[in-house]
Structure 1
Amino acid sequence: MDPAKIQELEDRLGYSFKNRNESYRALTHSTFSKEEKERKIGARDCPYQSTYATLGDAILKAGLVSILIEKGVKTKGNVTISKADLENNLRLAKVGKRLHLLEDNYILHRVGKEEKLKEESVALCSDTVEALIGAIFIYSNSSMSVIKDCISKIFATKLEEMERKYLNEGHMGDLPGRP
Structure 2
Amino acid sequence: MQISELEKSLGYQFKNKKLITEALTHRSYKKEVNNERLEFLGDAVMDLIVGEYLFHLFPKAEEGILSKLRAALVNEDSFTRLAKRLNLGKYLYLSPAEENNNGREKPSILSSAFEAVIGAIYLEAGFEKAKDVALRLLKEEFPIITPEELLKDYKTTLQEITQAHFGVVPEYRLISASGPDHKKEFEIGVFIQDKEYARAKGKSKKTAQQEGARLTIDMLKKELNL
Query: CA 1:76–1:50 in structure 2 vs 1: closer, same or farther (change >3 Å)?
Result: same
Q: Alignment identity in percent? A: 27
| 2:68 counterpart (76, 81, 105) | 81
1:12 and 2:9 aligned? yes
Answer 1 or 2: higher relative contact order, Cα 8 Å, separation at least 6. Answer: 1
| Matched residue, 1:155 | 138
TM-score (norm 2): 0.59
One-letter amino acid of the counterpart of residue 42, structure 2: G
Q: Which residue identity lines up with residue 130 of structure 2 in the other structure?
A: I
Q: Which amino acid aligns with 2:54?
A: L
Instruction: Name stretches of at least 5 consecutive residues in structure 1 with no aligned partner.
Output: 35-44, 167-179
Q: Which runs of 5+ in 2 are unaligned?
A: 150-226
CA distance in 2, matches of 1:47, 1:150: 24
Please provide the CA RMSD for this pair. 2.2
The whole-number CA distance in structure 1 between the counterparts of 2:12 and 2:78 is 21
State whether residues 38 and 115 of structure 2, in contact with CA within 8 Å, keep that contact through their aligned partners in structure 1.
yes
Higher strand share: 2
Amino acid at match of 1:162: I
| Cα distance, 1:158 vs structure 2 | 4.5
Q: Does 1:100 align with 2:83?
A: no
CA distance in 1, matches of 2:53, 2:143: 11
1:162 aligned counterpart, secondary structure: coil
Aligned match of 2:108 = 123
* Preserved contact between residue 82 and residue 141 of structure 2 (Cα < 8 Å): no
SS at match of 1:55: helix
Q: Bigger radius of gyration, 1 or 2? A: 2
The equivalent of 1:133 in structure 2 is 118
Change (3 A) 1:13 1:26: same
Measured after TM superposition, the shift of residue 118 of structure 1 is: 5.8
Deviation at 1:113, TM superposition (A): 3.9
Q: TM-score, normalised by structure 1?
A: 0.74
Structure 1 residues 131 and 119: alpha-carbon distance in aligned structure 2, compared to 1, 3 A threshold: closer
Aligned counterpart, 1:21: 18
How many residues end up aligned between the 2 structures?
147
